[in-house]
Structure 1
Amino acid sequence: MSIDWYEMFAFSMSPLELFIRGTVIYWFLLFAFRTFLQRDLGAVGVADILVLVLIADASQNAMAGEYKSISDGLVLICTILAWNVLFDHLCFRFPRIRRLLQPPALRLIQDGHVLRRNLRSENLTLDELMAKLREHEITDVAEVREAFMESDGVITVIPRGRDAAGGAKGNDRARAP
């Protein structure tokens, strides 16, 4: 059995077509993820991995048009990586784009009071919020000056006992994983 080196590395379709296919699917998936799967509690669960694998499998043929060579796959991978790097750079340089692509921190607790409307907007239950607070040895919402859900889904907790300048009088800023 011999290896056909030419077939392994020759393009089976135009690199421009691969670029366009990769771009269209990337933009669609970016829109879908930013719209419907904005953030979670900073954890990746089995269901999240399953969704990503299924989306990758479902979109593979649309992106690649059943490519056959390594070169086709490399062009497609580079296209997706390039868009990702470009968006990261644009988010860093331009606040308007960052606000569009990354949701702002959402206040969940203010002065010991739970903001239930904001919990509902993230489909976050009070039990889930309390579990995150307990991870940092906070058992009562009244102990919290402010808590935020960050754009990456991490819950940041600022306990009472901190002065207005942000200096710690007690515990340092606690971050829920």
Structure 2
Amino acid sequence: MHSLGDALIGDWRSAAFAGVKALALFLTAAAAFRLTERRTIAQFAPFDWAVAVAVGAIIGRTATASDSSWLTGAVALVVLLLAHSLIARLRFLPAFRHLVDPPVRELIRDGEVNQRNLRLCGITRADLDSVLRQQGHSSPDTVALALFEAKGSVSVQSGTGPSSDSDLSGGDPPAAR
């Protein structure tokens, strides 16, 4: 049976090895991320989040597991980041982009709220009103166009005149009007 000290502190050599592996994995991940394209958290698509969580899990698990080497963790990290890079590049193909990125959806056009698209996006009317207030609008009446973007943000164009879909959606027409 182990003592309380062993349970809290453990073997100092194992702790030192875990620290060295964690540092080596951190440096490996930092170098690998440096070599891939830059994407900020604000621009994360769902597949970016999956990679970020997986990278953290690989680093955490490999660093603390006595049966996993740095090489095992490094190979897992590199393969994961290469797969992420491949998916990011395949998103330029329209057929593949539709599998990875959700469609841009119109929430408001010329002051009219699209209730169906609110439901499809999982946004309540209170959520929409909050976004509008944050962007200086007291009601949908002053909004020409509000889009739920593929990355989960809502972009809002002021005014009551006709709007240009390509100005806010990066050239792709909004889906599911």
TM range (shorter): 0.5 to 0.7
CA contact (8 A) 1:147 1:158 kept: yes
- Give the structure 2 partner of residue 144 of structure 1: 143
1:113-143: per-residue Cα shift (whole Å, max 9, x none)? 1111111112211111011011111001111
- Give the structure 1 partner of residue 3 of structure 2: none
Task: State the number of aligned residues.
Answer: 122
Runs (5+) with no aligned partner, structure 2: 1-11, 22-41, 169-177
| Counterpart code for 2:95 | R
Structure 1 residue 68 corresponds to structure 2 residue 68: yes
Relative to structure 1, is the Cα distance of residues 103 and 69 closer, same or farther in structure 2, using a 3 angstrom cutoff?
same
**Residue 100 of structure 1, CA deviation:** 1.5
Q: Which has a greater percent of helix? A: 2
- Give the structure 1 partner of residue 89 of structure 2: 89
Relative to structure 1, is the Cα distance of residues 119 and 66 closer, same or farther in structure 2, using a 3 angstrom cutoff?
farther
Alignment of 1:1-177 (within 5 A): 57=57, 68-92=68-92, 94-161=93-160
- Give the structure 1 partner of residue 6 of structure 2: none
Structure 1: which 4+ aligned runs deviate by more than 6 Å?
none
Q: Return the TM-score normalized by structure 2.
A: 0.56
Q: Distance in 2 between matches of 1:90 and 1:78?
A: 18
Superposition RMSD on alpha carbons, in Å?
A: 4.0
Q: Distance in 1 between matches of 2:104 and 2:161?
A: 20
Runs (5+) with no aligned partner, structure 1: 10-41, 167-171
Q: Distance in 2 between matches of 1:90 and 1:67?
A: 35
1:80-128: per-residue Cα shift (whole Å, max 9, x none)? 0000000001112x11111111112111112211111111112211111
CA contact (8 A) 2:110 2:162 kept: no
Q: Distance in 2 between matches of 1:121 and 1:66?
A: 46
Paired-residue identity, %: 26
RCO higher in 1 or 2 (8 Å CA, sep ≥ 6)? 1
| Counterpart code for 2:111 | G
**Residue 146 of structure 1, CA deviation:** 1.2
| Counterpart code for 2:80 | I
Q: Distance in 2 between matches of 1:165 and 1:71?
A: 52
Relative to structure 1, is the Cα distance of residues 66 and 151 closer, same or farther in structure 2, using a 3 angstrom cutoff?
farther
